[in-house]
Structure formats: structure tokens, C-alpha cells
Amino acid sequence: MNFIKIKFGNSFDDEFQRAVNEIFNLVSPIFKYHETVWRPAIDVYESATEIIILADVSGMNKDELHIELDQRKIKIAGVRRAIAAEQEIRYHLAEVPRGYFERIIALPETVDVESAVASYADGVLMVRINKFSATKARRIEIKTEE
């Protein structure tokens, strides 16, 4: 009789190492000071005519932000770099995430891609996009054939 080996979850060694790392991150935050993938907070809300997206990306240069948009979703990506520090420093607390991020957000309604406008001030990226109104009634003129 043949058996198929099924593995559920990680091995004991992997789980033990993850638990030890979590303990050291709580005790000494210096272990968290490295570049990682992070997720900035994002708000999406709408008015009667537009959808507004706010992303909390403080400490970033606007030239390192990248926005892609189609009628149903928006992708905001970028890299937050570490601030150059003096030599021979010792961290006591290191909670500010750095490194690459990418967020893809489904929009609540279809939007007019050409109307999108982005601004960046005080660490907040704001993208404003007009809703695409496919439901507006349009009068169609009837032509007579002669």
C-alpha cells in the first residue's frame, strides 16, 4: 500500500524560530529595523461626483510614489527609504516601516480615468477621480432618410 505524505503548516523548527523572532522583536525593537514590505493606511470615500483616495505615506519623496489606475481599481506603490543616520548609533525603538509597498484597491464605482488628479502634502497622498456616469440619459436625434 502506498501512502501520500501531507504536510500541514510549517515544521516545528520554522515555528520555533518564528516564535523566538517575535519575542526578540518585542524585547528589542532593533530586530525590526530592516527593510520589509509594509502597508500604508488608505481611506477610500466618495461624494456624489467623485471618488477620493487618501494614503498615509509620510516620510516619502513624491518622486518615489507610483500610481496606476483603470476604471475599476487603483494601484499605489513606492519605496520608503531609511533616513541616513550617524555612524555608531544604537536604536532604542524602531517602529517606522521602510521598504517597498504596493496597495491595489478595488474602486466602489467605475471611474473616468482621464479625470484623475493626485496631490501630495503633509505626508498624505490624495487621488481624486470623477465617477464615470454611464447612467446619464442622452437624447438621441432621429434622422429621416430621404
Mean pLDDT across the stretch 49-55?
A: 96
Mean pLDDT across the stretch 5-23?
A: 65
Mean pLDDT across the stretch 41-56?
A: 95
Instruction: Evaluate if residue 35 carries a pLDDT over 90.
Output: no
Q: Which domain holds residue 51?
A: 35-130
CATH number at residue 103: 2.60.40.790
Q: Residue 117: inside a domain, yes or no?
A: yes
With contact defined as beta carbons under 8 Å apart, do 89 and 97 qualify?
no
Closest listed residue to residue 77, CA positions, set 101, 49, 46: 101
| pLDDT-above-90 percentage for the chain | 43
Q: Residue 23: inside a domain, yes or no?
A: no
Q: Residue 12: inside a domain, yes or no?
A: no
Q: 3-class DSSP state for residue 11?
A: coil
Mean pLDDT across the stretch 138-144?
A: 74
Q: Residue 121: inside a domain, yes or no?
A: yes
Instruction: Evaluate if residue 142 carries a pLDDT over 70.
Output: yes
Q: Rounded to an integer, what distance in angstroms lies between the CA atom of residue 109 and that of residue 38?
A: 27
- Residue 73's pLDDT is 94
Q: How confident is the model at residue 68 (pLDDT cuts 50, 70, 90)?
A: very high
Counted domains in the chain: 1
Verdict on whether the full-model pTM lies above 0.75:
no
Q: Residue 138: inside a domain, yes or no?
A: no
